[in-house]
Structure 1
Amino acid sequence: MFSRSETNTLHDAADIEKAGQAPVQPKSELQEEIDDRNPYLCTLNPEDDPKNLPLWRKWAAVLTISSASLCATCTSSMAAFTETGLVQDLHTSHEVAILSVSLYVIGLGIGPLFVGPLSELYGRNIIYRTSYVLFFAFTWPTAFPPDIATYLVFRFITGLCGAAFLSVAGGSVSDLFDNQNVATPMAVYTISPFIGPIVGPLIAGFIVQNADWRWCYRTLLIWQFVQTCFLFLTVPETYVPVILKRKAKKLRKTDNPKWRAPIEQQSHNLARMILYSIYTPFRLLLLDRMALALDIWSALLLGILYLAFQAFPIIFMDVHGFNVQDTGLSFLGIGLGMFISLATQPLWNRLFRETAKQHGGHLPPETRLLMGQVGAVLAPLGLFIMAFTTYKQVHWIGPIIGSIPFGSGTIFIYTAVFTYLVTAYRPIAASAMAANSAVRSSFAAGFPLFAGQMYHKLGTVGATALLAGLMTAMAPLPFVLYRIGARLRASSQFAVA
């Protein structure tokens, strides 16, 4: 799990998703002696190794997994553009309609606490297929809702179902490619859940402008159906313990009933695994100030990103007179900024390799925070530009230009926080990421609920400047942790010294 080279940020992105699995240790002499005494213990042969699949098949699996993740996060933001239709057709208030985004995001946040342990027992494929079939099935009540209560309940359930592709999928990518070749496919997967919330308004804007709002969800149904077919056709099982378990089961039928897989010799208690998956993250938040500070920083950022789904219609529709379709296009600035930051990844990889050489091949976790330092400057800078260009007399391109550095800063901050948590909290990396997910989801769910009142009370300039000020207040965090992080890790009961 954690034997990935620390000289590549994208390698550690794979570790984020694989966190929580037992580390693969070199065999001791005692273990080799046990294996000799047990000749019926299944081992991984070259023909069984998912890394030896044809390149086209591995890339087909990566693209399918990435598009599934894109769909899951795109579904979260598309709902923001259907709120007016919900209010009119389901006879509810705008504040209740906003819950369509909040409840879905909460489902995305808590889902990994359950699907993570399940994937360790039953493999990745059954989780993908089951979750996406349910994702498809439970989207129907949101496309044809009889009332607002039914709609909101199933928005939460679909969020739970879509969470598998944010907690398990990265592990499949690293299962398919070795360390030397994983960077590019991992980059393709890594960008997909970040681009998803930006793609949602682009699609929904065109649909709502030209058709009934329900077609947003009908379009999702078509996408999910095609996606489910591709999941069954192109994504093989890549989790090695489950591959060996299937191999042992086949050999017991055709060869000898004594054959066993390593995972079958371990005792697993699913209830205990899920309880541990829920309990440990919150214990980390309560007892480790460094993890809590990083989680609040990344949560504030995601809260602002989801608040934008309420703020952009106010800025561009109310102030600049955009229609729904053009308002959806206004999110292109954030997406462009995200792609620009992703394009700098080779430069960061080179810096990390050189730094690792200076430390005897070991990259200090605090080095990862250098990306966070850049993001800590760019994100509030972009928000301040947006704030002071939202006047009606300023051309509408001003806030879109400001959203570009905000989008770049978002990717830099998340990459820094995620990889730092994984490398600094390796023994409980899965719990560290689960804690981060829980805090982020709570902020992302809560911020849209007060966005309208805040923008109408403070105005577009004051409200956006307030958000910029909050990000500015958190900006010193990566600089401080870069200097004292090693000392804090040494005194932490969770982090590695």
Structure 2
Amino acid sequence: MASQEQEVHSDTITPTDVELAPITTHPSKTDDPFLVAFTEPLDADNPKDWRTGRKWAVTDVLSATGFNRIMVSTIIAPALGTIAKEFDMNSAESAMALSIYALATAFGPLAIGPLSEVYGRGPILHASNIWFLVWNIACGFANSKGMLIASRFMAGFGASAIYALANGVLGDVWRPEQRGSSLGVYLLIPLLGAAVGPIIGGFMAERTTWRWMFWSTSIFQAVMIIVSFTAFQETYEPLILRRRAERIRREKNDSRYYTADERINANKSALRVIGRALSRPVRLLLFHPIVQISSLISAFNYGILYIVLSTFSDLWTNNYHESVEISGLHYIAVALGEIAGSQLCAKMMDRLYHRLKARANGEHTPELRVPSVFPGTILGSMGLFLYGWATHYRLHWAVVDIGVFITMLGLQMTGMPLQAYVMEAYPEYTGSAGAAQQFVRSLTAFSFPLFAPAMYASLGYGWGNSTLAFLELVVGLVAPWLLWNYGASLRGKTQRLS
């Protein structure tokens, strides 16, 4: 322990990644009686030892909050034409009103994720809830295109906290053996948000003003703020232990009690601690191949998702001549595909993990998550082919919806194992690692819908989706293969940097 602390405080160490390397060993109370740590084997304050109901409570609060924030990202899709006409917006500006929200979710986690590793998950969740509510209300009262786009960006910045906090809270509470089931339940409600948004938006666009899309979701958000303040409990272990240490020091009137986190940061100013935390996601993206490779796969798939979400309504109104209201109902196929993918992948992940862990003589490594990626890649590509060519030949609407269902099924089965992989590769900094991933994902969610109309106009749905499917196969098979074969050595090199 002493040598580890010397390394942490050494001035000769490059700042590349001492605190980014996953910490696999912790000092024990037997080494130092003044060390404040969780007791083994069970500690009531340790989030991983909480009773199951308490774990699900914080997971469900986060999940329900995510539903509303994600739903707002797509709810205005069916009403873009109406909004564009009211504010005299061209096609690029109306697309921007939709996708600027996704752009904000790229930058928000870069600050929110690291700050949750300094101040805890709870304060960041509550502050972001209020921020999102204020700016979502502002969207409903926007009287110009500039105000609408600016308010959407600010609302998206607050909404992005859910992406930064999800990895952190789930990593705080659930053990690797429960990773698939916890992710499956957590994602169940937020996944509905992206697809339910356009359905609700389609009916509102036909029957009332588009402003009620924002006012109604703001009412729901106000309710969630009350729920989160009452039901969400702090899950960040270093903060829980710091509070315990403060209580012991006060009760015993003895300043010698400390936590491992306090010892590491003992000689650092608050400004330096915050600065290092805020730069952590960027350093992860720049210097960690594991984050770079996993982000590439998940970002490409996320871009495809937002291509489907942003163009699906136009497909039905322009090619199949359906009303806006009815076109929104086809997003049910998107929702069902994602839900089926999350639940199927949850079971597959846990079963495959236990089988591979047994083959590895019970040793846990993050790479055990990687094989679960390959089936999703193949299914997603198959779905894109079917969706594209069924649309090209104007086949029955059910065939198109089946293609979209399979696409979403595959994309979801690809994304969940990658999320679990990064969470387990960086257990001490899941918030920052998730923020790094989300930055790249959100950039594709913002940019892919901007070129999608031109792609379909030039190549048609058949060859346009086929191009995406071929790229999906290349990215989704080669990149996971690299992680499976070289992930462990890459993580080892990252640790040796310290």
TM interval, short-chain normalised: 0.7 to 0.9
CA contact (8 A) 2:108 2:160 kept: yes
1:166–1:486 CA distance, 2 compared to 1 (3 A): closer
Q: Distance in 1 between matches of 2:148 and 2:270?
A: 31
Instruction: Classify the secondary structure of the residue corresponding to 1:340.
Output: helix
Match of 1:207 among 198, 204, 208: 204
CA contact (8 A) 1:83 1:94 kept: no
Q: Which stretch has the larger CA shift, 120-129 or 279-288?
A: 279-288
TM-score (norm 2): 0.83
Mapping of 1:444-459 within 5 angstroms? 444-459=445-460
CA contact (8 A) 1:319 1:392 kept: no
**What do residues 49-105 of structure 1 show as CA deviations (whole Å, max 9, x unaligned)?**
556767655544332221001111111111322311221222222211211232211
Task: Name 1:312's counterpart in structure 2.
Answer: 312
CA contact (8 A) 2:129 2:158 kept: yes
Q: How far does residue 369 in structure 1 lie from its aligned partner after superposition? A: 2.3
Q: Distance in 1 between matches of 2:204 and 2:70?
A: 18
Task: Name 1:484's counterpart in structure 2.
Answer: 485
Instruction: Classify the secondary structure of the residue corresponding to 1:145.
Output: coil
Task: Name 1:16's counterpart in structure 2.
Answer: none
Counterpart code for 1:399: V
Mapping of 1:351-430 within 5 angstroms? 351-391=352-392, 393-424=394-425
Task: Name 1:462's counterpart in structure 2.
Answer: 463
Counterpart code for 2:456: Y
Mapping of 1:222-301 within 5 angstroms? 222-247=219-244, 256=253, 258=255, 262=259, 266-267=265-266, 269=269, 271-273=271-273, 275-277=275-277, 279-286=279-286, 291-301=291-301
Instruction: Classify the secondary structure of the residue corresponding to 1:111.
Output: helix
Counterpart code for 2:375: V
1:326–1:274 CA distance, 2 compared to 1 (3 A): farther
Q: Distance in 2 between matches of 1:392 and 1:206?
A: 28
Q: Distance in 1 between matches of 2:439 and 2:335?
A: 24
CA contact (8 A) 2:163 2:434 kept: no
1:253–1:284 CA distance, 2 compared to 1 (3 A): closer
Q: How far does residue 405 in structure 1 lie from its aligned partner after superposition? A: 1.4
CA contact (8 A) 1:425 1:494 kept: no
Match of 1:116 among 113, 118, 131: 113
**What do residues 435-476 of structure 1 show as CA deviations (whole Å, max 9, x unaligned)?**
322211111100111222222333333322332232233243
Q: Which stretch has the larger CA shift, 435-444 or 52-61?
A: 52-61
Q: Distance in 2 between matches of 1:340 and 1:319?
A: 28
**What do residues 180-230 of structure 1 show as CA deviations (whole Å, max 9, x unaligned)?**
767644431134443321221122122112211111111111111111111
Match of 1:187 among 180, 184, 188: 184
Q: Distance in 1 between matches of 2:355 and 2:433?
A: 27
Q: Distance in 2 between matches of 1:295 and 1:152?
A: 27
Q: Distance in 1 between matches of 2:49 and 2:491?
A: 40
1:323–1:450 CA distance, 2 compared to 1 (3 A): same
Q: Which stretch has the larger CA shift, 414-423 or 320-329?
A: 414-423
1:130–1:464 CA distance, 2 compared to 1 (3 A): same
Mapping of 1:161-180 within 5 angstroms? 161-173=158-170, 175-176=172-173
**What do residues 118-157 of structure 1 show as CA deviations (whole Å, max 9, x unaligned)?**
2222222111111101111111210110211121112111
Mapping of 1:47-66 within 5 angstroms? 48-49=45-46, 56=53, 58-66=55-63
**What do residues 287-318 of structure 1 show as CA deviations (whole Å, max 9, x unaligned)?**
56665344222211111111112321232111
1:232–1:488 CA distance, 2 compared to 1 (3 A): closer
1:435–1:245 CA distance, 2 compared to 1 (3 A): closer
CA contact (8 A) 2:121 2:169 kept: yes
Highest RCO, 1 vs 2 (Cα 8 Å, sep ≥ 6) = 2
Extract unaligned runs of 5+ from structure 2.
1-19
Q: Distance in 2 between matches of 1:135 and 1:487?
A: 39
CA contact (8 A) 1:115 1:164 kept: yes
Task: Name 2:14's counterpart in structure 1.
Answer: none
Q: Which stretch has the larger CA shift, 286-295 or 109-118?
A: 286-295
1:122–1:483 CA distance, 2 compared to 1 (3 A): closer
Between the aligned residues of both structures, percent identity stands at 26
CA contact (8 A) 1:241 1:261 kept: no
CA contact (8 A) 1:82 1:208 kept: yes
Q: How many residues align?
A: 472
Q: Distance in 2 between matches of 1:338 and 1:467?
A: 18
Q: Distance in 1 between matches of 2:232 and 2:410?
A: 33
CA contact (8 A) 1:284 1:494 kept: no
Q: Distance in 2 between matches of 1:472 and 1:29?
A: 52
**What do residues 258-310 of structure 1 show as CA deviations (whole Å, max 9, x unaligned)?**
59663556445554455445545445545566653442222111111111123
Q: Distance in 2 between matches of 1:278 and 1:46?
A: 31
Task: Name 1:95's counterpart in structure 2.
Answer: 92
Q: Which stretch has the larger CA shift, 67-76 or 190-199?
A: 190-199
Q: Distance in 2 between matches of 1:226 and 1:490?
A: 42
Q: Which stretch has the larger CA shift, 54-63 or 469-478?
A: 54-63
Match of 1:77 among 74, 77, 86: 74
Q: How far does residue 365 in structure 1 lie from its aligned partner after superposition? A: 4.1
Counterpart code for 2:201: A
Task: Name 2:3's counterpart in structure 1.
Answer: none
1:482–1:126 CA distance, 2 compared to 1 (3 A): closer
Aligned pair 1:346/2:347, yes or no? yes
1:82–1:239 CA distance, 2 compared to 1 (3 A): same
Q: How far does residue 479 in structure 1 lie from its aligned partner after superposition? A: 6.3
1:166–1:476 CA distance, 2 compared to 1 (3 A): closer
CA contact (8 A) 2:167 2:430 kept: no
CA contact (8 A) 1:320 1:392 kept: no
**What do residues 37-58 of structure 1 show as CA deviations (whole Å, max 9, x unaligned)?**
xxxx697795645567676555
CA contact (8 A) 1:489 1:495 kept: no
Q: Distance in 1 between matches of 2:245 and 2:289?
A: 46
Q: Which stretch has the larger CA shift, 227-236 or 345-354?
A: 345-354
Report the RMSD for the aligned CA atoms in angstroms. Answer: 3.4
CA contact (8 A) 1:310 1:452 kept: no
Aligned pair 1:146/2:147, yes or no? no
Instruction: Classify the secondary structure of the residue corresponding to 1:199.
Output: helix
Q: How far does residue 364 in structure 1 lie from its aligned partner after superposition? A: 4.8
Q: Distance in 1 between matches of 2:468 and 2:55?
A: 42
